[in-house]
Structure 1
C-alpha cells in the first residue's frame, strides 16, 4: 500500500511539482496539497496521512505553528520541514515543534524521496548544512550528560543527529542494519524517548554527543 503524503507550501508551482513527483512513485502518493498550514490540524484529522511535507514560511499559516498543532494530537505522525533558508532560528524552532526532519528546498528530487522513505522508517533526515548547524549548536552548549550511553551508542546517536539513514549508519559503523536498529532501541530506552525526532531533539538540548 502506498504511503499517503500531504503537502503544505504557498508556492503553487512547487506544490504541483512535489505532488507530481510523489505520484510517480510506486510506494508514495500525494493525497492533498495546501497553501497554508492555518488549518493543518483539521486537514490531518480529515485525511489521516502517513507523512506531512511542511513548508516553514507561509504568510497565511506558519509551518512551525502548524507542526506544533499537529504534533500535539498526532505525535507519531512524521512531519518533514522544507525551507529555502537554513537559518538557526527556524531550524531549532522546527525541532522544538516536533519536526521529524529539516530539508532545504534545493534538495535533489531523488534525495528528497530517499529521505522521506527514511522518515517512514523512523529516521530524522536533515540536509547536510542543517546537520552541521545542529552539531555546532550543541558544541556551544554548556549542558552535558551522557545518559550512560556506551561509546558505540554515542557514535550511532551522533550519526543519527547528522541526518544519516539507518543503512548509512550501518555502513559507517561496520555493523549490520538490524544491529543498528537494536542499538537505537537501547538509545531510546536510555534517553526515555520513543522516536528518532525526540532522540535528536534531546541530544541537541542536552549535548549528549559532541
Structure 2
C-alpha cells in the first residue's frame, strides 16, 4: 500500500525541545520524524538516507550554525523545505536564514497548534512566519533602503526607539555593551545628530527604522 507520509528531520541541540517536537509530530497522522539530530553535520551526513520532505532547524547549534546548514542542505537537495524554529528574532538572522533558503521562520514561543499549522502551510507551498517575524519582514520592505545605517546599526536604533537600555540591547543582540556604544556613536555621526531623541526622530522621519 502506498502511503503519503511527510517525512521530517529535526535539528535541535536542546534534547527536551527535540524530543517534544518529535513526540508531537509523530502523533499526527501523515507525518513522521525520520530522524532528529543535535547538529547540522549529522543531519547533512544522513540526508541521502533520511530523504526528508521538511527539515525543522534551530539556528544556534554546535558546529556549523543553522544558516550554514540551510545553505548546505539546499545545495545538496533544493527540493527539501526548511523551516527555522528558534528563539532569535534579530532582523539580520531572519533575513540571513531566508536568503539561505529557509521557507519559514517560527519562534520557539509559538504554540504546538501553530507549529503544526506552520508545517501544514509550508507543505502547501506557503511561507509560515510568527507574527512578529512577518511584521519585521513587512517593515523592512517599507523601509527606506537608501539608509546610511548598516543592518546592525538599524537594529540598535530600533531597540533604542523602543526604550531599551544599552545593557538590554547588548543582551538581545548578543554583543558587548561597548559595541552598542560604538554603534550608537556611528549612528550619531551618520545621521549628523547629537542625541538619542534626534537620532530616533530623524530615522523615523526618513523611514530608516
Query: Structure 2-normalised TM-score?
Result: 0.66
**Partner residue in 2 for 1:134:** 137
Q: Distance in 1 between matches of 2:47 and 2:24?
A: 21
CA distances 1:181-202 after superposition (whole Å, capped 9, x unpaired): xxxxxxxxxxxxxxxxxxxxxx
Q: CA deviation at 1:57?
A: 0.7
**Matches of 1:14 and 1:95 in 2, distance apart?**
22
Deviations 1:85-120 (A, max 9, x none): 211111000011000100001111011001101111
The aligned residue for residue 124 of structure 1 is 127
Q: RCO (CA 8 Å, sep 6+): is it higher in 1 or 2?
A: 1
Is 1:24 the counterpart of 2:24? The answer is no
Distance in 2, Cα, partners of 1:26 & 1:85:
30
1:39 deviation in Å? 3.4
CA contact (8 A) 1:64 1:94 kept: yes
Q: Deviations over 1:35-89 (max 9, x none)?
A: 0012332222221011000111112231110000011121121100011121111
The structural deviation recorded for 1:27 is: 1.6
Q: 2:40 is paired with a residue of what secondary structure?
A: coil
**Per the alignment, in what secondary structure is the counterpart of residue 39 of structure 1?**
helix
How many angstroms apart in 1 are the aligned matches of 2:108 and 2:30?
Answer: 22
Which residue of structure 2 lines up, in the alignment, with residue 68 of structure 1?
A: 71
User: Which residue number in structure 2 is paired with residue 170 of structure 1?
Assistant: none
Tell me the residue number matched to 1:41.
Answer: 44
Work out which of the residue numbers 93, 96, 101 in structure 1 matches 2:96.
93
**1:141 CA drift (Å):** 4.3
- Segments of 5+ residues of structure 2 without an aligned counterpart are 147-209
- Aligned positions, number: 143
Is contact 1:78-1:119 (8 Å) kept?
Answer: yes
- The separation in 2 between residues aligned to 1:120 and 1:2, in whole angstroms, is 12
* 1:11 has 2:14 as partner: yes
Q: Secondary structure at the match of 1:126?
A: coil
> Which of 105, 110, 114 is the matching residue for 2:113?
110
My pick for the range that moved more, 33-42 or 86-95, is: 33-42
Higher alpha-carbon Rg: 2
Cα distance in 2 for partners of 1:70, 1:120 equals 17
**By how many angstroms is 1:142 displaced?**
3.7
In the TM superposition, what is the alpha-carbon distance from 1:136 to its structure 2 partner? Answer: 1.0
Long gaps (5+) in structure 1: 144-210
Aligned-residue CA RMSD (Å): 1.3
CA distance in 2, matches of 1:13, 1:94: 24
The answer (yes or no) to whether the contact 1:6–1:30 under 8 Å persists in 2 is yes
